[in-house]
Amino acid sequence: MFTLLQKKRKPAAPAPPQKRVLDVDGRAMPLTVTKNPRATRLTLRIEPGGRGLKLTVPPGLKDREVNDFLDRHQGWLRVRLAKFSADNAIRPGGEILFRGIPHRIVHTGELRGLTQAIDSEVGHILSVGGLEEHMGRRIATFFKKEARKDLETYVAIHTKAIGKPAKSLTLKDTRSRWGSCSWEGNLSFSWRIVMAPPGVINYLAAHEVAHLKEMNHGPGFWSLCERLCPDMEEAKRWLKRHGSALHAIDFE
């Protein structure tokens, strides 16, 4: 007797996300369409900062049904995107937050000039040298350096308080979260947090350091977090109100 053994078929790889552009009241919005075999309904989300849209599609749905869904939600999108400026580019004379304080952007025209925050007689200024088309990148580089300085200071304070060191600290430009802590003790932060007030930066550092002892969001974690940062609730409210606007700024 011979038995024919059939090879197990590998599950089909998920289809890659589709990139589209959706017109919302004359505003061209990047749209990422992802087909998810576990999804049971269409789900439309606005990316942090209002810089794009994400649509999750369940299996078996026709393109016509997807397009009808997007048409029906034009009003919903129009209302929610209204709070985001369609133009978030950095330019001379514009304003940008730095450690919670609005700074007027001044392009010096000096090719080798440093980027620096100045408290002058005419107010708070962010002085930027180099070519004008490189202003956004130069400001981003300056913000990354200052964010690292602030976060390393706060992390050192909080790790000493809990008696447990962090393994590393890295900076990223994440859209979905402000920070993270791995099981190995690696801390990661969005450098955009340097635009927030110092108390909010301190809260973010305390939040991730608290995860070194409590890798969850249970009562013990929040109790520790508040002990490290007594102004936790105020900082959380600030991020909820202003976080999307920080993500929306285009440094490119």
In angstroms, the CA 35 to CA 18 distance is 9
* Report field, pTM of the whole predicted structure over 0.75: no
The C-alpha angle with vertex 114 and arms to 109 and 115, in degrees rounded to 5, equals 90
Q: Please state the rounded mean pLDDT for residues 120-131.
A: 90
E strand intervals along 173-233:
179-181, 186-190
- 230 CA to centre of own chain: 24
- Model pLDDT, residue 252: 80
The alpha-helical segments, DSSP class H, found in 20-175 are 63-72, 74-81, 135-162
Q: Where are the domains of the chain?
A: 18-81, 95-248
pLDDT in tens, 192-230: 999 999 999 999 999 999 999 999 999 999 999 999 999
Q: What is the pLDDT of residues 13-40, one digit of tens each?
A: 667 888 888 888 778 888 999 988 888 8
Token pair in block for residue 144: 């990354």
Q: What is the CATH number of domain 95-248?
A: 3.30.2010.10
Q: b/e string for 37-61 if b means 16 or more Cβ within 10 A?
A: eeeeebeeebbbbbbbbebbbeeee
